[in-house]
Amino acid sequence: MKHIVTLVLLCCAVASVSAADTIYVHPMAELGGDGQSWNAPIRTLAIAMATAQPGDELWLASGTFRLGTTLKMKNGVRIYGGFTGDEALRERRDWFRRPTILESSGAASLISMDDLDSTTRLDGVVLQGATGSAVVVNGGAPVFFNCLFRNNAGQSGAAIHASGVSRIRMEFCSFVQNTVTADGGAVYLASIAKDPTYTYGPFIGECLFDRNTAANGIGGAVCIDSCASIPQIVSSVFASNSAMYGGAIATMRTYLYMTNNTLSRNTLSTSGVGAGRSLLLNGGWVQNTIVWGGDAA
């Protein structure tokens, strides 16, 4: 009897793993595709996401998806861009030479994420033209890899506005010419801080922040507010960003850990003294960081 129970549990586990599916999506597809192959891809992201279950992957062909409404992502679903439309292996995609673009055609925000964990991933897509932050994150720890956020606008965090987050991760991403009316030209991270936990929190690694602006606020590229855990910014480049205070990065009620970064030509939109042309930090650790091109931390 014990062996029978073990066998049943094993079969259930295998069935659970095999249930994960690949859903194929192409912006030029004929309507009515079931998304089970490149021969019959789904045309719209909304339909593809409605079909997806936790563990599924959405493979997006190169081209432009125009979003009239915000796409609400599901927990455990992974989106990958950069496909030609005939690949059998994910490793064959090339998101740099064959970009998959998500562009607003009326949606204030392109994507929303509510309490999604680290099994949720956005990888190899371009997000542009949003007017209310390209991605809005409410809680959780989603992952962003190989993404380009460009020419987005918003109040705070034109590329990513995240509140109540834990270990959200941004790696190998570029943030270019995003603009806000308040704080965090590209990225705004906030949570309700109680007592510091001294554990690592949000992570930004090997990213580029170029020409992002918070002309009337703080943190031209990144603003982090009230994180109880310790955010990390590692091996990233901040160039030609601008804000009223903290041209590149600003923190409030947060201890930030920075290492192996480069900051260059970041500026202030005000002539205030002591504001920090690149950094306006509440506290934390900065090491192995190069500041050049007229910058002053």
Higher pLDDT, 16 or 61: 61
pLDDT tens by residue, 220-264: 999 999 888 899 999 999 999 999 999 999 999 899 999 999 999
Q: Where are the domains of the chain?
A: 20-107, 108-297
Judged by DSSP in three states, 131 sits in coil
Beta-strand relationship, 121-123 and 187-190: unpaired
The pLDDT assigned to 7 comes to: 41
Lowest pLDDT segment from 67-81, 107-121, 217-231: 217-231
Q: At 201, phi and psi to the nearest 5? A: -115, -130
The pLDDT assigned to 198 comes to: 72
Closest CA to 223 of 144, 160, 131: 160
SS3 content of the chain, % helix, strand, coil (to 5): 10, 40, 50
pLDDT tens by residue, 170-218: 999 999 999 999 999 999 999 765 666 678 899 999 999 999 999 999 9
Listing DSSP states for 164-205 in one string gives EESS-EEES-EEES-EESSS-SSEEEE----S---SEEEEEE
Distance of alpha carbon 254 from alpha carbon 250, whole angstroms: 10
